[in-house]
Structure formats: structure tokens, C-alpha cells
């Protein structure tokens, strides 16, 4: 509530106060929504953010009780092959070596990226075995994650609108295949604010092994037309993790504090001279917050004080996965400290630098699964042990799937497949050990209970207590949503 009653007078359009004054009765909610809309309309007329500009990260009430408070999205960058990971397709044994046209005479070869390298149908090079109590068939490349299938809800019938990395990344992150729209993390922090005022509300981590950024770069964690404060803060893989976090050397120790005391006094004089301007009061607070961030942010991302057992759990120190283990552990520390949304990209750019297994699908996926399997499993277990999994939604998902046919090369690979992908969700109000939707017999196309990305986004928002049709921002003459004009919550995977 900090900032909302500054100068001793309540700001009219505070949803939380409405809720409190209305006794939080459920019957009021609809009315409150209307009032909020009206007040927000008026507020937006003055500024795109209205009074929220004073503290845009102040926690906001949800539309209905939330199951999840935080999100950790493991972005399987490059496009994981569903038939080699979670979508077991025994029929591919039967079709192995045959043309996809035998399976589907109408196949038009309009899917993949490399149209001159379309091979025959190819079974997975990996063995699958039943795991967990639910008996989910899991690829051998996930020995650790296989332990946690009873926590996961699998979606096997996802599909997207582009077969090219950047547009597909934008689609998965923003719901639109073009750049310029706010991503899920931006919408969520816009809708809910953050519980941490000392740390950024939305944090993004990318590959620290020098393999580059995901295609489309920062547009993937952009705030689009939402105010820029809601864009993801990119934790830099090397050097200062957050820009401008470290004071100039000559201002070390008490010197900067003395300077800030002077500055605070200057700002207080100004605020006293011009009463009634809450922005001036917020400005004073922003420097204090920044000063606290200088200490809070390095502390949050420092994993050295974690126990040896925790390090081992995540795989810190194991050469193949040390980098990702550290990022997963940082993610837990961040959400523990109130950060709303964390996204970690596995892999860098395309081809061999990420899960983009055009060449040698076996080597590629074994490598990237090896980089992430134990760290993500460790994260799930650690969250569960600390009672954080109930309130933290963990997402495993890339931008598209891969084709069941081989991509011809020295070692066979697989090309992009926008018609089908698998994602899983765990924790935060998700029912564990279930599989929703089905791809066709060979995993070429999502067939049963098809899940559009709008549906996936609607479900994520729902778990966070947000009605996806009511989280809107007016831009270019109309109210925009993360789910645009679509989106259906997948009830079957809710706990």
C-alpha cells in the first residue's frame, strides 16, 4: 500500500481500498471491476498509467484468488522436439524410414525451414520408459526430470503460427507473431505489480556460455505498448548483473550515503515547496529504493551461501550443467524474495547453439537436456521442499516443436514444426501427473484438444488470479489483451 495514501489523502482509484471498504464481499467484485474500469479510464486520460506511475510495481489485487504468485518459465529455446522428449510415439517405429506421404498423402511440405532436406519419418533415437506413479513415458535424456512427472501437467497439443524462430518466439512470449507487443511477464507485472520493491519484478536470464541471445533479442521480454517499467530486467550473464548497480569507485562506503542525504534534503525542500505533487514524493522514495537495491540485488543473486546440499541438488559444479544450475538457483532466490516473474532461456541462438536440432538431433538434444535436466529437477524439488511450489508456477516450453521426419545431413536432425509442440506446467495450482491433448499418431500435428497459445496464456493468467479478458490496456483506440480476442482456460489441468 506504500504510496497510495501519500500526503494523507486516499487516491480514489485504488482497487485494494475498494475491496477493503466493500468488505471484500464477492458480490461486490463485478461492481468494483466496473468502477475500477471507469476510474482507470479517467486516470489513463491523464497519463497512460494513471496514479500507478507513482509506484507502478505496487502489488495489485487479483480478479479472484490466485493459486500461483510467481512464475518461473524455463524457455526451451530453439524449439524442442516433442517426439524425442515428452510425447512418446511408438508408431514412429512402424513408420520409420517411410515417406511422410505414405502417412499423409496430402502432405505439402510447407512446414520445415529447409525444404530440400526433407528425409523420411524417423523414430526417436532415445529410449522411453514409464516414470512416476502416473507412468508417463519419458525420454531417457531426462533421468532427473522423470522423477517429477507426478508434479507436471503435460500439454501435447500446442500449436503456433510461425515456423521461424523470431516470430514463433514473439508468438509464445506475446501472443502475436510480430514484435511490438507486451510479453507475458510484462502483462503479469502490469496486472499484479511485484511483491519485492527492492528487486525488479520481472527478471530474464539468458545463456551465459556465449552462445548469444534468443532470436529477436530483447523484443522477447519487451513491454511493447505497456509502460517501459514492465519490461523484463535482463540479468547480464557476466560483469555487473544489473546496469548501474555499483556505485562509482570514488563514492564507495559512506560517501555515497552522504551525497544521497544531501539529495534527499534537496528533494524534500522541493516537495514541501510544491505540495500536492505525489510524483515528487515518489522521486524521493525512488532514490532510497535504489540505494536498497544496490545491496539487495547482489545478495539475491549470490548463491555462495546456499548449502552444499542445495548446490548438489541443482547440479552446481557439474561441468555440463553448472551454468544452468546456477540460474535455476538464482530463480528460486528471486521468487523467494518476491520477484513476480522469472524467465530463463536454455541455449542461445539457433542451430547447435540451442535446442534447434537441425543437425544431429540425438547429439543436440542429449546435450541440452543434459544442461537442464538436473537443474530444473533440482528446482522443482527445492521449491517443493520449501513449500514454494504451491505458489510458484513452473513452465517448460519452447517456441515450437520439431518434425517427425528427419532433416537430411551427416547425422539426421529434425526441422521446425509449428503444428505441434509439447509444454508442461508444474506447481502453482496445476494438477500433477496429467496429460492434456494429443498429437496425431506420428506427432506431426496437434489433433485432440488443440491448444492455441492464447489458451496457454489464458491458463497462466488464470493460475495467477487474473481473468485474461479483463486484463487490458488501451492502445491505438482499443483495449488490448495478452490473449487478444481469443483464449480459453484449460480447466482440465487445474488442480
Partner 1 sequence: MRNGYTPQHWQVPKPEGWTRTSFHRAALAEWLMDVENGAGNLAARVIVNRIWQHHFGRGIVATPSDFGSQGEPPTHPELLEWLATDLVHHGWRLKRLHKLIMTSAVYMQSSRYDEQRASVDRENHLLWRFSPRRLEAEPIRDAMLAVSGMLDTTMYGPGTLDPNMRRRSIYFFIKRSQLIPMMMLFDWPEHLVGIGQRATTTVAPQALALMNSPQCRQYARGFAERVLAQPESQRLAYAFLAAWTRIPGDEQILQARRFLEEQALRHQQAGNGDGTLAAWTDFCQALISASPFLYVE
State the minimum distance, in angstroms, from the CB of residue 390 to partner 1.
30
Query: Is the Cβ of residue 234 or residue 353 nearer to partner 1 in the bound state?
Result: 234
Helix residue ranges per DSSP H, 202-307: 254-273, 278-301
Distances (CA, A) of 399 to 36, 79, 169, 351: 35, 5, 5, 14
Question: Could you say whether residue 179 binds partner 1 (CB under 8 A)?
Answer: yes
Q: Check if the beta carbon of residue 58 is closer than 8 Å to that of residue 52.
A: yes
| Beta pairing class for 416-417 and 434-436 | unpaired
- Should residue 34 be labelled a site residue for partner 1 when binding is judged by CB under 8 A? no
Contact 254, 291 (CB under 8 A): no
| Shortest separation between residue 467's beta carbon and partner 1, angstroms | 22
**Binding residue for partner 1, selected from 34, 259, 302, 491, defined by CB under 8 A:** 259
Report in angstroms how near the CB of residue 37 gets to partner 1 at its nearest.
Answer: 13
d(CA 136, CA 130): 5
438 close to 447: Cβ distance less than 8 angstroms:
yes
- Cβ burial 463-487 (10 Å sphere, 16+ → b, else e): bbbbebeebbbeeeeeebbbbeeeb
Asked if 256 is part of the footprint of partner 1 (rule: CB under 8 A), the reply reads yes
Q: Considering the rule CB under 8 A, would residue 228 count as an interface residue with partner 1?
A: yes
The angle at the Cα of 381, spanning 377 to 384, to the nearest 5 degrees, equals 140
When binding is defined by CB under 8 A, the residue of 20, 38, 129, 269 that contacts partner 1 is 269
Of 369, 356, 443, 460, the closest CA to residue 403 belongs to: 443
CB of 66 to partner 1, least distance (A): 24
User: In terms of CB distance, is 205 or 293 closer to partner 1?
Assistant: 293
Q: Is 243 in the site for partner 1 (CB under 8 A)?
A: yes
Ranges within 52-81 binding partner 1 (CB under 8 A): 53-57
416 bridge partner residues: 402
Nearest CA among 442, 411, 406 for reference residue 97: 406
Instruction: Give the separation between CA 59 and CA 36, rounded to whole angstroms.
Output: 15
> x/- binding map, residues 450-469, to partner 1, per CB under 8 A?
--------------------
Query: Taking CB under 8 A as the rule, does residue 30 contact partner 1?
Result: no
Question: Which residue shows C-alpha cell 510415439?
Answer: 89
Shortest distance (Å) from residue 164 CB to partner 1: 16
Distances (CA, A) of 115 to 124, 359, 403, 408: 21, 14, 12, 10
Beta carbons of 128 and 141 less than 8 angstroms apart = no
Our finding on whether 267 is near partner 1 (CB under 8 A) is yes
Least CB distance to partner 1 at residue 280 (A): 5
Cα(364)–Cα(358) distance, integer angstroms: 9
User: Is residue 245 a contact point for partner 1 (CB under 8 A)?
Assistant: yes
Q: Applying CB under 8 A, does 265 fall inside the site for partner 1? A: yes
List, in sequence order, the alpha helices (H) in 96-241: 100-103, 165-174, 184-192
| Beta bridge mates, 130 | 137
Question: 204 forms bridges with which residues in the sheet?
Answer: 234, 343
Residues 192-221, mask of contacts with partner 1 (x by CB under 8 A): --------x----------------xxx--
Q: Is position 279 an interface residue for partner 1 (rule: CB under 8 A)?
A: yes
* Rounded Cα–Cα distance for residues 327 and 270 (Å): 43
Q: Which is nearer to partner 1, 190 or 436 (CB)?
A: 190
113 vs 225 by CB, closer to partner 1 = 225
Bridge partners (DSSP) listed for residue 413: 407
Is the Cβ–Cβ distance between 33 and 470 less than 8 Å? yes
DSSP-assigned beta bridge partners for residue 73: 343, 395
Site for partner 1 contains 246 (CB under 8 A)? yes
Residue 184 binds to partner 1 (criterion: CB under 8 A) = no
Answer yes or no whether residue 274 interacts with partner 1 by CB under 8 A. yes
Instruction: Write out the binding residues for partner 1, residues 283-322 only, by CB under 8 A.
Output: 283, 286-287, 289-291, 293-294
Q: Which is nearer to partner 1, 57 or 328 (CB)?
A: 57
Minimum separation from the CB atom of position 275 to partner 1 (A): 5
10, 180, 448, 495: which one binds partner 1 (CB under 8 A): 180
Which range touches partner 1 (CB under 8 A), out of 257-265, 320-328, 343-351, 390-398?
Answer: 257-265
Query: Is 477 among the residues that bind partner 1 (CB under 8 A)?
Result: yes
> Which residues of the shown chain bind partner 1 in the complex (CB under 8 A)?
45-49, 53-57, 179-180, 200, 217-219, 222-225, 227-229, 233, 242-248, 250-256, 258-260, 262-263, 265-267, 269-271, 274-277, 279-280, 282-283, 286-287, 289-291, 293-294, 475-478
Amino acid at each position: 500500500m506504500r504510496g497510495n495514501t501519500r500526503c494523507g489523502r486516499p487516491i480514489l482509484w485504488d482497487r485494494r481500498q475498494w475491496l477493503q471498504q466493500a468488505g471484500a464481499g464477492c458480490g461486490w467484485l463485478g461492481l468494483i471491476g466496473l468502477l475500477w474500469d471507469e476510474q482507470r479510464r479517467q486516470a489513463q486520460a491523464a497519463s497512460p498509467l494513471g496514479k500507478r506511475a507513482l509506484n507502478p510495481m505496487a502489488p495489485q489485487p487479483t480478479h479472484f484468488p490466485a493459486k500461483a504468485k510467481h512464475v518461473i518459465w524455463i524457455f526451451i529455446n530453439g524449439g524442442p522436439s516433442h517426439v524425442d522428449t515428452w510425447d512418446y510415439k511408438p508408431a514412429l517405429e512402424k513408420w520409420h524410414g517411410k515417406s511422410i506421404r505414405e502417412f499423409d498423402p496430402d502432405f505439402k511440405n510447407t512446414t520445415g525451414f529447409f525444404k530440400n532436406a526433407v528425409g523420411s519419418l524417423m523414430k526417436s533415437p532415445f529410449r522411453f520408459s514409464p516414470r512416476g506413479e502416473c507412468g508417463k513415458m519419458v525420454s531417457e535424456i531426462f533421468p532427473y526430470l522423470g522423477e517429477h512427472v507426478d508434479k507436471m501437467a503435460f500439454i501435447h497439443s500446442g500449436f503456433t503460427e510461425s515456423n521461424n524462430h523470431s516470430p514463433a518466439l514473439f508468438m509464445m512470449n506475446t501472443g502475436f507473431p510480430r514484435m511490438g507487443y507486451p510479453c507475458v511477464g510484462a502483462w503479469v507485472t502490469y496486472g499484479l505489480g511485484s511483491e519485492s520493491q527492492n528487486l525488479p519484478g520481472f527478471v530474464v536470464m539468458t545463456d551465459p556460455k556465449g552462445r548469444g541471445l534468443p532470436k529477436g533479442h530483447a523484443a522477447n521480454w519487451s513491454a511493447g505498448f505497456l509502460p517501459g517499467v514492465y519490461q523484463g530486467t535482463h540479468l547480464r550473464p557476466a560483469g555487473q548483473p544489473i546496469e548501474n548497480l555499483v556505485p562509482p569507485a570514488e563514492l564507495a562506503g559512506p560517501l555515497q550515503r552522504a551525497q544521497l542525504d544531501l539529495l534527499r534534503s534537496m528533494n524534500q525542500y522541493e516537495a514541501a515547496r510544491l505540495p500536492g505533487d505525489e510524483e515528487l514524493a515518489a522521486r524521493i522514495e525512488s532514490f532510497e529504493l535504489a540505494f536498497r537495491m544496490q545491496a539487495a540485488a547482489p545478495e539475491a543473486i549470490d548463491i555462495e551461501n546456499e548449502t552444499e546440499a542445495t548446490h548438489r541438488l541443482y547440479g552446481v559444479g557439474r561441468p555440463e550443467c553448472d551454468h544452468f544450475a546456477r540460474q535455476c538457483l538464482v530463480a528460486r532466490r528471486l521468487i523467494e524474495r518476491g520477484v513476480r516473474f522469472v524467465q530463463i532461456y536454455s541455449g542461445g541462438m539457433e542451430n547447435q547453439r540451442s535446442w534447434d536440432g537441425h543437425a544431429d538431433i540425438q547429439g543436440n538434444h542429449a546435450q541440452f537436456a543434459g544442461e537442464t535436466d538436473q537443474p530444473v529437477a533440482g528446482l522443482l524439488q527445492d521449491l517443493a521442499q520449501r513449500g514454494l511450489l504451491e505458489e510458484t508456477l513452473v513452465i517448460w516450453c519452447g517456441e515450437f516443436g520439431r518434425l517427425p521426419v528427419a532433416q537430411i545431413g551427416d547425422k539426421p536432425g529434425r526441422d521446425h514444426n509449428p503444428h505441434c509442440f509439447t509444454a508442461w506446467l508444474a506447481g502453482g495450482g496445476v494438477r500433477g501427473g496429467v496429460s492434456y491433448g494429443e498429437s496425431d499418431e506420428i506427432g506431426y500435428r496437434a489433433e485432440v484438444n488443440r491448444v492455441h497459445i492464447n489458451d496457454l496464456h489464458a491458463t497462466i493468467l488464470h493460475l495467477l488470479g487474473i481473468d485474461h479478458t479483463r486484463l487490458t490496456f488501451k492502445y491505438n483506440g482499443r483495449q488490448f489483451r495478452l490473449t487478444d480476442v481469443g483464449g480459453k482456460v484449460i480447466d482440465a489441468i487445474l488442480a
